[in-house]
Structure 1
Amino acid sequence: MAHKIPQSSVDIAVHCAYECEHCADECLGSMPECARLCIDCAQICWTSAAYMSRSSRFIPQIVRSCIEICEACASECEKYPDNPHCQKCAQACRQAAEEYRKIATVAGVA
Structure 2
Amino acid sequence: MKHLSKDMQNCIDECLRCYQVCLGSAMTHCLETGGKHVEPQHFRLMMACAEICRTSAHLMLLNSPHHKHVCRECAEICTECAKDCERLGGMDDCVRACTQCAESCRAMAA
Q: TM-score, normalised by structure 2?
A: 0.82
Instruction: Output the CA distance in 2 between the equivalents of 1:8 and 1:68.
Output: 18
Q: State how far apart, in whole Å, the 2-side matches of 1:62 and 1:7 are.
A: 16
Gaps (5+ residues) in structure 2? none
Among the aligned pairs, what percent are the same residue? Answer: 37
Residue in structure 1 matched with residue 107 of structure 2 by the alignment: 102
Q: Which has the higher helix share?
A: 2
Gaps of 5+ in 1: 106-110
> TM-score normalised to the size of structure 1?
0.82
Matches within 5 A, 1:1-110: 4-5=4-5, 6-25=8-27, 26-28=29-31, 29-30=34-35, 31=37, 32=39, 33-81=41-89, 83=90, 86-105=91-110
Q: CA-atom RMSD, angstroms?
A: 1.6
Q: What is the CA–CA distance in structure 2 between the aligned matches of 1:7 and 1:103, rounded to whole Å?
A: 10
For residues 64 and 57 of structure 2, what CA distance do their matches in structure 1 show?
A: 10
